[in-house]
Amino acid sequence: MTTLIESDEHKALRAAVASFATAHTDTGDLWQAAAKLGYIGVNLPETYGGGGGGITELSLVLEEMGAAGNPLLMMIVSPAICGTVIARFGTQAQKQQWLPALADGTRLMAFGITEPDAGSNSHRITTTARRDGTDWLLTGRKVFVSGVDIADATLIVGRTEDARTGTLKPCLFIVPRDAPGFTHRRIDMELHSVEKQFELVLDDVRLPAEALVGDEDAGLLQLFAGLNPERIMTAAFAIGMGRHALAKAVAYARDRTVWKTPIGAHQAIAHPLAQAHIELELARLMMQKAAHLYDAGDDTGAGEAANMAKYAAGEACVRAVDQAVQTLGGNGLTAEFGIARLITASRVARIAPVSREMILNYVSHQTLGLPKSY
Looking at 108, 137, 152, the residue that finishes a domain is 108
354 in the same domain as 227:
yes
238 in the same domain as 166:
no
Closest of 358, 349, 145 to residue 235, by C-alpha: 349
Please give the residue range of the domain that contains residue 172: 110-216
92 in the same domain as 152:
no
Does some domain include residue 13? yes
CA 151 to CA 303: how far, in whole Å? Answer: 27
186 in the same domain as 317:
no
CA 325 to CA 256: how far, in whole Å? Answer: 14
Q: How many domains does the chain have?
A: 3
Looking at 51, 81, 108, the residue that finishes a domain is 108
pTM above the 0.85 mark?
Answer: yes
CA 300 to CA 362: how far, in whole Å? Answer: 13
Does some domain include residue 373? no
Closest of 198, 151, 146 to residue 174, by C-alpha: 151
Residue 353 preceded by cis peptide, ω within 30: yes
The answer to whether 111 and 81 have CB atoms below 8 angstroms apart is yes
Does some domain include residue 1? no
What pLDDT tens digit does each residue of the chain (374 aa) get? 445 679 999 999 999 999 999 998 777 799 999 999 999 999 999 999 999 999 999 999 999 999 999 999 999 999 999 999 999 999 999 999 999 999 999 999 999 999 998 766 766 788 999 999 999 999 999 999 999 999 999 999 998 865 455 565 789 999 999 999 999 999 999 988 888 999 999 999 999 999 999 887 766 778 878 899 999 999 999 999 999 999 999 999 999 999 999 999 999 999 999 999 999 999 999 999 999 999 999 999 999 999 999 999 999 999 999 999 999 999 999 999 999 999 999 999 999 999 999 999 999 999 999 999 88
136 in the same domain as 61:
no
Looking at 108, 136, 156, the residue that finishes a domain is 108
In the prediction, which pLDDT does 167 show? Answer: 60
